[in-house]
Structures are given as structure tokens and as C-alpha cells.
Structure 1
């Protein structure tokens, strides 16, 4: 028996004009908050304390593993008078954990929230065209560093500055911020700016 395809399905309908106009008028650009810890001394101390806590945690894990292995094999060697090693408590709190928590709160108090916002495709492409890839003056070939289609030295900071909407980025404020950012902090801002401008959203349609 031959099955005939159903051709009576309802046609796909677009959004009505008046509803579409309202949606356009109320449209907003994507935003992303970025927290930056601007106190380098606190960040350095935090990393040192965190590393010491991690080392002690690794030693405790090794001790628990040794104790468990000894228990499985019947304990220590009675001929040598050794005892089964005792495992440290599983819920043992590191002596420096309180200090680490205090450092986190101090860093948070000195970590401003910067709001990065996407721009329209027209604005983004205008900014992109203002930073064309560098070319070898002799051969005319594009600099290998700029194969992505823009000047990799000037476009990223221009994108970051253009994408920041809070606080207001005056020339003086940007100069101060830019002078204090290390590569990791700048990359955090640049990745956020690239995300709201160029990367796909994780939405269910």
C-alpha cells in the first residue's frame, strides 16, 4: 500500500508587523558583568595560602589512602611492632581556611563590577574596519599575527573599551584602567566583549 504524504499542514507564519515593531523597539543588547580583583598584593597572598592548603589536603588524602590500604592488608607488621596508620578526620578543617576566606572577602571589596555590552552588527563592523590587519610593505602579505582579519594589537583594546557601558569609559578613566590591567585581567574583559558581540548564545532556539 502506498502512503501519500500529507500536504495539508498549516503554513509557517511570521510575526505580525505591529508585534514585530514592538519587539524591535524594546530590543536590548546582550550584557555580561565582569568582576576584576584590582589588588595585586591580596591576589598574590591568596594564591600562596590556597597553594599551602592544597598541599596539606594532598598529604591528608595520601594518609587516608595509606590507612585504608593498611586496613585491607591486616594492619601493621606485628613482627616489627608497627601500628596501622591512623587516617586524619575526613572533615578536618585546614588551619588557614579562615584566613583564605578573609582574603576572599577583602578581594571582593576591592573588585569592581564592569558591565560589558554587545553592539549592533553595524557598529561592530565599523570598529573592525578601523583596525585592518597589518601587511608587509614589501610583499603586501598579511602579517601572520592578523590572520583573523584585524590588527591583533589594536582591535582587542578598542573592542573592550567600546563594549564597556558601566562605569562610563572616559579617556582618562580608560587610560588608568588599561595601565593597571595584567594580561589575565585584560583577557577576561576581552573574552566577555567577544562573547557578547560575536559568540552564539546558549538559548533553546
Structure 2
């Protein structure tokens, strides 16, 4: 992708489209957790700024993803401060399809929306560290720079977030089924009820 980045900086529209397709889904998921339904608007503002500054950007594709994330996060914080929120907040979870429960969703591979919803339920610092490391694909150093924390603190926070996610998934899988769900065992009558 670094080759596409250099070509896009020279004005190659196909190369820019490749960059956009490589980064946009991750960026949109990240921003959705920060600003909810305003993610499309914030993402559009982010790409306008990226387009304006692309010629001056220096670095490879990994640094480009970090640069895009910094711009997107700054735009999200500006959006949140404009409506009176003091800091990034976890947005509402994406709407579930009718008839899907948590246990059913975990029995299948998690969809991207379900995974983002789980991450969005973490404490804010853990959620953002996991989003930056796993969803955006940034390394620990880049994540630390974006969050203004030490690399060790980011590593510990991301690990705690991943442990919390694993615990939540485990609890969801182990949740007992109710009697009216398919495959649920019928309750045994009490000895005096026969």
C-alpha cells in the first residue's frame, strides 16, 4: 500500500481509491464508537482534510493510517465539544437485527458491528486502546502518541480491554437458555407438583 500512497500523492485517482478502501471501513468503525451516528459526517470531514494535506504527508502506509486516525480523532473531539460533550463517549451500539440475541450472535462468528458494539461497551480508555490497536491496526507507539500516554500504559490498557472482551464473550456463551428458546431443556417439576 505504500506504493499506492506515493502514487496517490502524485495525483493517481485509482491509487487514492485503493487507499480509501483500505482505510475507510476501519476509520468509520472507530469513529462510530466515538461519535455514534455522526460518524459518516466526521469521516467525510476527515477525508477532506486528508485530501488537502496528502501532498505534504511523509511516511509509509503504516504512518499514513496513524495520520488518518489523528485527523479523525481530532475531528471527532471537535464534534463532541460542539455539542457539549467533554470527551469521547461510546456511542450507542449498532441496532441488532430482529430475532438475534447475544448468545446466538456469539455462536456464529462475530460480525464487525457486533464486535464494535462489544468494544464500545468497554470503559472508554480500554475501548479506544483496543480500537486503535486492533481495528485501526496501529502499533503501540502510534497508539501511545495519539492517546498522549506511555507505550507501557497503552499496552496494559489494551490488554485489560481484550481480557474484558474475552470475559464478556465467555459470559455470553455460558448464559443459560430460557425454556422457550429452541434447545432449552424443559424445567423439571418439583416433587410436590406431580
Q: Same fold (TM over 0.5)?
A: no
Work out which structure has the larger RCO, using CA pairs closer than 8 Å and 6 or more positions apart in sequence: 1
**Structure with larger Rg:** 1
Q: Which has the higher helix share?
A: 2
